[in-house]
């Protein structure tokens, strides 16, 4: 693998950051204004590569290296400072300091120190202004859930070597083009593509209370996808396979990925003819991967510590510590220290969080009873200690976020076949003709604001209806999962089967962070699905150029060829 230009020496970078931090702590003095009592400097250097191919052509190939600075200045004291509502209402993009976050490309020591100096001046002004706004809020409002400002946790001294290798760009470009060329044999598939995203993130962090951290993480994602137009109602439906890795040598060979391309082609062929029930309510069985998404959206976000103290948050579980929130026999914890599970390298794994605190396991639910929350250095009612879950995108303020959310079943675990039998029994008992089985979820979202409805939604990739009499399975499409958190979690009546892994990026107030989830299959006595699409479309007037045989019209040869295509696999 080719070498990059030499990696900046960590000792030099940390020394520059420490010196400027000490200078700022001592020199930021304004008569009548609060003084800094805690500061953090972070430098994040990201090497990224984005590749996209379709029909054998390379559509996009972008590589970049970018350095970004982050500075946290806390004025006042550990009990009261400039951060209100856990910082959830901060929006770094709207602040003047957003113009001063770029680090020198070559990380020249003097240039880096000057950049830190400029950023710090603006950040200090913003911190003082926020401090007085916080004081004003204390006069006009009763901040009933407010606790201390910053925990007194001891930050880490942790160093890792930095890589000097680049990504194998030419090799990956050739592989993606070769894979995407296979879609030329399938003109019925629209906008097919093979995409690869690789990112190497190097972090240097220093804090005024002695923290020094250097870490490096690699994230690689690969997606194979396409769309088809359904035959009976003209809805575009999506089929895909997505893979996640933590090292270059984990990326599969072209031969292995070709199998996934064929899986996508076969799936899209089935989806083209699959019916849509429009809506469904009744018992549902979710695979481990699907269940992981449900727990992430319905539970995980609502256990993020800052949400317990922020005005404007619904605080779903704020006063339920010690209460049963899940069926007995289920444990939930978040453990960023787990690096691999069942052959998967976990995206949610890290060693030290973005406040310099070592990552630790956070026990959240034990035997169905709520025991704790995800915590940064922002104290919450009943706990003023971080469990190493402060995370951010390098730009927004860090907050408590999930890393690897794990759901475990206590005692013996029933098989998937037993869960299917229980699903059918539930449907019969409810007088229903069908149950639903969800085997893959593509994405999810939720709202935790008290202004909005307390609900979550899941974008489903693979869903089946099962007939309670014949056990016949029918693939359905164009539906999405919806629910309310407390209701959905209380409807879990069974769990077991194969444990599944879900990975990707999670978006919240502190930006996009990589996460993982691990969960067994779960059975719910009731779940609601709603129709996703409301608009139908005609086929294109002309077929794609590579499949144009001279016919014209929306119901020409292209559609007929698609209907006569023999089944494969």
Task: Tell me the per-residue pLDDT of 517-538, one tens digit each, with 9 for 90 and over.
Answer: 999 999 999 999 988 877 888 8
Q: Alpha carbon of 476 to those of 182, 291, 442, 461, 465: distances in Å?
A: 26, 19, 15, 10, 7
Which DSSP category does 36 fall into? Answer: E
542 or 104, higher pLDDT: 104
Q: How confident is the model at residue 565 (pLDDT cuts 50, 70, 90)?
A: very low
Domain ranges across the chain: 10-49+58-165+199-215, 279-531, 538-569
Task: Tell me the per-residue pLDDT of 92-117, one tens digit each, with 9 for 90 and over.
Answer: 999 999 999 999 999 999 999 999 99
Which residue's structure tokens are 């009976």? 232
d(CA 525, CA 434) in angstroms, rounded, equals 13
Task: Tell me the per-residue pLDDT of 20-55, one tens digit each, with 9 for 90 and over.
Answer: 999 999 999 999 999 999 999 999 999 999 999 999
Task: Tell me the per-residue pLDDT of 290-336, one tens digit each, with 9 for 90 and over.
Answer: 999 999 999 999 999 999 999 888 888 888 999 999 999 999 999 99
Token output for 433: 């003709």
Q: How confident is the model at residue 560 (pLDDT cuts 50, 70, 90)?
A: very low
Residue 341 pLDDT more than 60? yes
d(CA 457, CA 527) in angstroms, rounded, equals 11
Which DSSP category does 93 fall into? Answer: G
d(CA 499, CA 504) in angstroms, rounded, equals 17
Contact 338, 240 (CB under 8 A): no
| Mean pLDDT, residues 264-292 | 93
Q: Which residue in 96, 121, 146, 133 sits closest to 36, CA to CA?
A: 121
Give the pLDDT of residue 323. 95
Token output for 309: 């103290």
Q: How confident is the model at residue 4 (pLDDT cuts 50, 70, 90)?
A: very low
Give me Rg for the CA atoms of the chain.
26
- In 10 A of CB 318, how many CB atoms? 18
**Full-model pTM:** 0.92
Give the pLDDT of residue 556. 37
Give the pLDDT of residue 450. 64
Which residue's structure tokens are 């005005």? 311
């Amino acid at each position: 693998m080719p070498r990059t230009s030499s990696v900046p020496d960590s000792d030099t970078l940390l020394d520059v950051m420490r010196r400027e931090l000490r200078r700022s702590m001592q020199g930021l003095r304004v008569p009548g204004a609060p003084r800094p009592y805690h500061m953090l400097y972070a430098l994040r250097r990201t090497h990224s590569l984005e590749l996209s191919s379709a029909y054998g052509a390379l559509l996009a190939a972008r590589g970049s290296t970018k350095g970004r600075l982050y500075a946290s200045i806390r004025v006042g004291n550990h009990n009261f400072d400039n951060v209100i509502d856990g910082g959830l209402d901060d929006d770094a993009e709207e602040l003047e300091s957003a113009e001063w976050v770029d680090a020198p490309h070559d990380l020249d020591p003097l240039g880096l120190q000057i950049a830190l100096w400029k950023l710090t001046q603006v950040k200090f002004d913003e911190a003082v202004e926020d401090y007085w706004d916080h004081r004003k809020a204390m006069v006009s409002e009763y901040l009933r859930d407010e606790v201390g400002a910053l925990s007194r946790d001891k930050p880490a001294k942790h160093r890792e070597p930095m890589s000097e290798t680049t990504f194998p760009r030419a090799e990956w470009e050739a592989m993606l083009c070769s894979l995407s060329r296979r879609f030329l044999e399938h003109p019925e598939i629209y906008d097919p593509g093979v995409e690869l995203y690789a990112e190497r993130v190097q972090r240097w962090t220093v804090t005024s209370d002695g923290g020094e951290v250097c870490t490096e993480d690699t994230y690689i994602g690969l997606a194979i996808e396409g769309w088809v137009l359904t035959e009976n109602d003209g809805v575009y439906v999506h089929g895909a396979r997505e893979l996640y890795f933590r090292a270059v040598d984990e990326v599969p060979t072209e031969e292995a990925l070709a199998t996934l391309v064929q899986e996508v082609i076969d799936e899209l062929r089935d989806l083209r003819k699959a019916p849509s029930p429009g809506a469904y309510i009744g018992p549902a069985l979710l695979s481990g991967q699907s269940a992981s998404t449900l727990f992430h959206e319905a539970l995980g976000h609502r256990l993020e510590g800052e949400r317990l103290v922020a005005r404007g948050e619904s605080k779903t579980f704020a006063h339920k510590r010690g209460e049963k929130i899940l069926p007995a026999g289920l444990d939930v914890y978040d453990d960023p220290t787990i690096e691999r599970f069942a052959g998967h390298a976990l995206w949610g794994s890290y060693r030290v969080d973005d406040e310099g605190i070592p990552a630790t396991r956070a026990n959240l639910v034990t035997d169905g009873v709520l025991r704790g929350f995800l915590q940064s250095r922002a104290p919450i009612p009943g706990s003023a200690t971080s469990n190493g879950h402060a995370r951010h995108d390098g730009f927004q303020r860090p907050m408590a976020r999930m890393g690897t959310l794990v759901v475990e079943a206590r005692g013996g675990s029933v098989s998937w076949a037993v869960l299917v039998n229980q699903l059918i029994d539930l449907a019969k008992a409810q007088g229903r003709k069908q149950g639903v089985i969800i085997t893959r979820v593509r994405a999810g979202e939720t709202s935790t604001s008290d202004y909005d409805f307390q609900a979550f939604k899941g974008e489903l990739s693979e869903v089946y209806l099962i007939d309670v009499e014949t056990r016949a399975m029918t693939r359905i499409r164009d539906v999405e999962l919806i629910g309310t958190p407390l209701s959905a979690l209380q409807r879990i009546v069974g769990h077991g089967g194969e444990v599944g892994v879900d990975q990707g990026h999670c978006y919240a107030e502190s930006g996009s962070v990589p996460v993982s989830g691990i969960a067994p299959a779960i059975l719910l006595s009731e779940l609601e699905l709603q129709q996703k699409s409301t608009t139908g479309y005609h086929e294109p007037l002309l077929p794609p150029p590579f499949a144009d045989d001279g016919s014209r019209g929306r119901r020409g040869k292209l559609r007929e060829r698609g209907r006569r295509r023999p089944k494969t696999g």
